Structure 1
Amino acid sequence: MPGPIYDIAVPHTDPDYVVKPFIAVARTKEGIPFVQMGTRDLHLKTRIVFVLGFKTGKYQVKILQTLVDLFIQGTMAEEFMKVNDEDEALELLKNIKIEGN
């Protein structure tokens, strides 16, 4: 997904292939090319990647919407890219509230 400062990617898989639910996040210095959702050939230089693995789609839409709200429409991407280590990143992410939870 294109963002105003940093593009983000949210790859996810079919719940049938998930053994244990997880959310993984990574950031890159140079960016990783991802094809923009809804296109076949528009590549984004993605700097933040959230990999989602859920055993059910129950929370997937809420989590995706929250990530869009915070990282694309909000300022969380800029804050996340400024943290200096894993502990700071984890604390920032732990404070994200998913609506309805």
Structure 2
Amino acid sequence: MGKKLFYEELVFLDKKYHDQAEFFRSICADLQQLGWVKSSFYQAITEREAAFSTGLETQPFSVAIPHTDAEHVEKNFIAFVRVVEPISFVHMGIPDKMVEAQMLFVLGIADASNQVKILSNMIELLSNEAMMKQLISAQDPADIVQIMNQAVSL
């Protein structure tokens, strides 16, 4: 197994946001305060999401994988956010379709050459229905981190 990407301080369980804009403001502020991203991260990730949406219909729960360019990231991470009420995201590749995401994976990859590998690993993980059920029901951030680091690493 390679370098881990998931950390307990980046697991946010049962959060409530009014909409996608509030989600991005909140998570980006948290990530910047914790030293994971640069001040430019918020603008970069929201602009990228508007241009290249990241919502995915996965079973049994839909997700979103917002991410942006390496230059806005201090160190490699993936933040896991599970929400109480789903957040609407435009479907990746289907601009006129909305996805109600219950889990969000915010990617911060400091080395751009690793981004495709990480996204590929994430897609594989998200197609594992049993693992998705574990993620939606886990109550301890340590459990989430263990599940995720076994599935996705650098």
Q: TM-score, normalised by structure 2?
A: 0.57
Partner of 2:91: 36
1:12 to 63, 67, 71: 67
Q: CA deviation at 1:97?
A: 4.7
* Unaligned ranges ≥5, structure 1: none
Letter in 2 for 1:19: E
Which residue in 1 is equivalent to 2:51?
none
| Change in 2 beyond 3 A, CA 1:5/1:74 | closer
TM-score (norm 1): 0.83
Give, in angstroms, the shift of residue 23 of structure 1: 1.3
Identity of aligned residues (%): 30
- Is residue 59 from structure 1 mapped to residue 117 from structure 2 by the alignment? no
Does the 8 A contact of 1:10 with 1:52 survive in 2?
A: yes
Match status 1:92 vs 2:147: yes
Report the Cα distance in structure 2 between the residues aligned to 1:73 and 1:85, rounded to whole angstroms.
20
Deviation at 1:59, TM superposition (A): 1.7
Q: How many residues align?
A: 99
What are the Cα deviations for residues 77-97 of structure 1, in whole angstroms up to 9, with x where unaligned? 111111122122122222225
Root mean square deviation, CA, Å:
1.8
User: 4+ runs of 1 displaced by more than 3 Å?
Assistant: none
The structure whose residues are more often helix, as a share, is 2
Q: Match of 1:75, SS?
A: helix
String of CA shifts for 1:18-59, please: whole Å, max 9, x gaps.
233321111112211111011323110101111111122222
Query: Residues 75 and 32 from structure 1, CA distance in 2 versus in 1: closer, same or farther, beyond 3 angstroms?
Result: same
